Structure 1
Amino acid sequence: MDTGVEGLPKPEVKIENIVATVILENQLDLNLIETKIQDVDYNPDQFPGLVYRLESPRVTVLIFKSGKMVITGAKSINQLIHVVKKLLKAFADQGIPISGKPQIQIQNIVASANLKVYIDLEKAALEFENSLYEPEQFPGLIYRMDEPRVVMLIFSSGKMVITGAKMENEVYDAVKKVARKLKEADAIIGIAE
């Protein structure tokens, strides 16, 4: 996806973490899963769910008796879907009953970006509505974008953290939009090498 803005270097964008919930139509026997599936931790006195850590891809799945699961660590939607399929196949191979089709909901996508420019955060703060910049408290500008609905931490180095996206393309749209807005606000003070 093209995230560039004319006259500026093409930014680097990387999805760091996708948090999603998966809802199954049936309840799960966590004791059975613990005995049948490797790499799980289940200590109901400490935590009501079972913790399943996959090495490849490196993700963690919290599995609850209700049939709800929380997946963290995926780097793309495709990887997330692969994890769900891999998990359901492992359940099926071990005779753990699953009924219906799982519902997957993206809760949050966290990404990083580098615009490869230096930014005057004071000037950006004056131009960006819904922003907060208090350098004595935090070195970055906090910008709450309405469309797409994300929160961005923007640093003078041109690096950013984007959170709150529900789809990967929202991350790329937000980066392009903020780069354009910084250029229009004349808040870009140089190209980073």
Structure 2
Amino acid sequence: MEPSNDVALDIIVTNVVSVFRTRCHLNLRTIGLEGTNVIYKPEVGKVLMKLRKPRITASIWSSGKIICTGATSEEEAKLGARRLARCLQKMGFKVRFSDFKVVNVLAVCSMPFQIRLIEFTKNNRPIASYEPELHPAASYRIKNLRSTVQVFSTGNITVTGPNVQSVASAVEEIYPLLFECRKTLS
């Protein structure tokens, strides 16, 4: 049996991490006092700000660097980052939205079969590693895509990569390797 090319796998993006700069110094105490949905953490030197739509959480540093997490697409991440910049502008800061970059994408995908992890790791030894005493998944690194795939015996995989395209490419690359190590129904 060969891996068929017409199998449609649903890749669900669960988290997009992005970063941008405001190109101005931010007074965290002012943001903590005047902002809505904020948590001021002076011991760490940052403010956490949450937006409801799109649902993102931002870590704001006084240098003007802001890291946004929780978006489910690259477009949603950019929209949330721009909305965050607008909130800071309304507080009186001279914010200029710049250097926006998606730095990490986390996605999950479910294979239509279960996987024999030990066989998968043996077949792909230098790239794949499986330590069942430490973690229930086998880890498979794809250097050229800068992606990491966590493969579980149930057939679920978790893919981490720098953007959505590399995550999709990683799933396409690993599918034939997983198919040859699938558990047969008996």
| TM-score normalised by L of structure 2 | 0.87
Deviations 1:94-148 (A, max 9, x none): 322114x411222221111111212122221122131112334433211111231
Q: Which amino acid aligns with 1:33?
A: I
Instruction: Give the match's secondary structure for 1:157.
Output: coil
Q: Cα 1:32–1:137, aligned 2, differ >3 Å: closer, same or farther?
A: closer
Higher RCO (Cα < 8 Å, 6 or more apart) = 1
Partner of 2:34: 36
Q: Which amino acid aligns with 1:138?
A: H
Unaligned runs of 5+ in 2: none
Give the drift of 1:66: 0.3
Match of 2:100 among 101, 104, 121: 104
Q: Which amino acid aligns with 1:172?
A: A
Two-structure CA RMSD over aligned residues (Å): 2.0
Partner of 1:65: 62
Q: Cα 1:27–1:11, aligned 2, differ >3 Å: closer, same or farther?
A: same
**2:79 corresponds to 1:82:** yes
Question: How many aligned residue pairs are there?
Answer: 182
Give the drift of 1:19: 1.7
Unaligned runs of 5+ in 1: none
The 8 Å contact of residues 115 and 155 in structure 2, kept in 1 or not, is answered as yes
| TM-score normalised by L of structure 1 | 0.84
Match of 1:19 among 7, 17, 20: 17
Give the drift of 1:8: 6.7
Give the drift of 1:25: 1.5
**2:185 corresponds to 1:188:** no
The 8 Å contact of residues 9 and 115 in structure 1, kept in 2 or not, is answered as no
Instruction: Give the match's secondary structure for 1:87.
Output: helix
Tell me how far apart the structure 1 counterparts of residues 90 and 61 of structure 2 sit (CA, whole Å).
19
Instruction: Give the match's secondary structure for 1:104.
Output: strand
Q: Which amino acid aligns with 1:156?
A: S
